[in-house]
């Protein structure tokens, strides 16, 4: 019941935020065509368009001769496919995205699966802080959304590119590696103690970290910030393993065996 309540509150918060920012409640407002960019960058989408654009009337076919294998360039570059298209064409890309994706998957299912699996694996190993560097896109978004916060952001270390991102990435990488080592050592010990709570927590964390990599890497793009959102759960699990093991040791010491009295 509590878990369901958390999900409901999260969904309601997302709907309310998008209603405030975009004028309508939605879980996915004004998004660019991520899937289109992804399968074109992977290859199968581009192969399909090159072979079938004479048969279909999709707006993406207008760009078939200068498609890119760079998702960022496709979506965000000034001369990229999306940004150089009119608002009407961008809307059509979104409407035609799922028919395009389904057709590509029917034509190249194994090829796309291999590409998606590779992207997911790469995302699982990518959790750096490089995306936190100063970005003109972030700065430009303040005016239409939260203009009052723009002066504070301009003065921040992030906007001035003074954050120790390399150091933070190095610390995080070594922390995750050390945590994996701790988990590998303590899991057998906790298994012998039948620690069901840690087993349940571990199952949730492992599935969450893997699912996040699969969805973001395979369906969007490989970016360090995506996996950074959940990778901290690995050190958390390592710490919980140590605490649970210590709790068991402490409980064993407090329960001293009673010795029978010896009659003289």
Q: What's the pLDDT tens digit per position in 133-145?
A: 777 777 777 777 7
Evaluate whether 33 touches 63 at the Cβ level (below 8 Å). no
In the DSSP assignment, the letter for residue 63 is G
The tens digit of pLDDT for each residue in 162-205 reads 889 999 999 999 999 999 999 999 888 877 777 788 888 999 99
123 or 23, which is more confident = 123
Rounded to the nearest 10 degrees, how much is the dihedral formed by the CA atoms of 56, 59, 60, 61? 50
- Which one, of 129, 128, 131, 133, lies nearest residue 156 by Cα? 133
Mean pLDDT over 113-123 rounds to: 96
Distance of CA 93 to the CA centre of its chain: 24
Evaluate whether 86 touches 180 at the Cβ level (below 8 Å). no
**Confidence band (pLDDT; 50, 70, 90) for 250?**
confident
pLDDT given for residue 262 in this prediction? 54
Q: Hey, what long-range contacts does 120-125 have (CB within 8 A, 24 or more apart)?
A: 120/213, 120/214, 120/217, 120/218, 121/213, 121/217, 122/217, 122/222, 123/213, 123/214, 123/216, 123/217, 123/218, 123/222, 123/223, 123/226, 123/227, 124/209, 124/210, 124/213, 124/217, 124/227
- Which one, of 44, 38, 53, 190, lies nearest residue 120 by Cα? 38
């Amino acid at each position: 019941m509590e878990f369901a309540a958390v999900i409901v509150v999260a969904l309601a918060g997302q709907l309310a935020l998008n209603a405030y920012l975009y004028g309508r409640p939605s879980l996915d407002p004004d998004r660019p065509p991520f899937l289109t960019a992804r399968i074109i960058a992977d290859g199968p989408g581009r192969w399909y368009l090159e072979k079938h654009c004479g048969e279909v009337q999709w707006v993406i076919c207008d760009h078939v001769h200068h498609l890119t294998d760079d998702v960022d360039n496709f979506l965000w570059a000034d001369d990229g496919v999306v940004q150089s298209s009119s608002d009407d064409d961008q809307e059509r890309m979104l409407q035609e995205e799922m028919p395009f994706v389904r057709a590509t998957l029917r034509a190249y299912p194994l090829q796309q699966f291999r590409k998606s699996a590779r992207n997911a694996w790469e995302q699982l190993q990518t959790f750096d802080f490089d995306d936190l560097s100063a970005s003109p896109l972030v700065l430009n978004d303040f005016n239409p959304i939260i203009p009052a916060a723009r002066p504070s952001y301009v003065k921040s270390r992030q906007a001035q590119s003074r954050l120790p991102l390399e150091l933070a990435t190095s610390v995080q990488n070594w922390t995750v590696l050390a945590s994996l080592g701790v988990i590998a050592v303590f899991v057998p010990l906790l298994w012998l103690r039948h620690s069901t709570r840690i087993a349940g927590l571990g199952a949730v964390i492992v599935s969450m970290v893997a699912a996040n990599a699969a969805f973001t890497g395979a369906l969007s793009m490989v970016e360090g910030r995506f996996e950074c959102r959940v990778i901290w759960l690995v050190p958390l699990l390592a710490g919980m393993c140590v605490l649970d093991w210590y709790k068991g040791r402490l409980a064993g010491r407090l329960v001293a065996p009673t010795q029978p009295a010896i009659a003289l």
